[in-house]
């Protein structure tokens, strides 16, 4: 079995995998390309990375489903904690969307 090249994905920023040497996360690449339908080349141009980096990020996302699910759950917990800690005027509730 061939060993995958993971040197293009790093874990030294943002507590989640991202394109090495850049701040764009693997989850962000996945969301742009696979959820929003933006071409990989467009994403590469937008973030000044090689298109190969975009495809490596997508491969990483699919090769590590448990890790990506854990990262997403952690981010959702942080968002919920922040929402709960914000003081709002009486009668004002956050949008549930």
DSSP for 1-25, please give it.
-PPP--TTEE-SSTTS-EETTSS-B
Q: pLDDT tens, 6-65?
A: 568 877 666 889 999 999 999 999 999 999 999 999 999 999 999 999 999 999 999 999
Query: Is residue 22 within 8 Å of 49, Cβ to Cβ?
Result: yes
Supply 61's token pair.
Answer: 């996302």
pTM reported for the whole predicted model: 0.74
Q: pLDDT tens, 55-97?
A: 999 999 999 999 999 989 988 888 888 888 877 777 777 665 5
Q: Where do we find the tokens 């919920």? A: 80
């Amino acid at each position: 079995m061939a060993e995958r090249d993971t040197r293009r994905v790093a874990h030294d920023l943002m507590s989640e995998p991202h394109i090495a040497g850049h701040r764009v996360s693997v989850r962000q690449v996945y969301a742009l390309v696979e959820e929003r339908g933006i071409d990989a080349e467009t994403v590469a141009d937008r973030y000044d990375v090689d298109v190969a980096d975009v495809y490596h990020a997508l491969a990483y996302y699919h090769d590590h489903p448990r890790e990506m699910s854990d990262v997403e759950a952690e981010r959702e917990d942080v968002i919920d904690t922040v929402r709960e800690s914000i003081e709002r005027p009486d009668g004002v509730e956050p949008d549930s969307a």
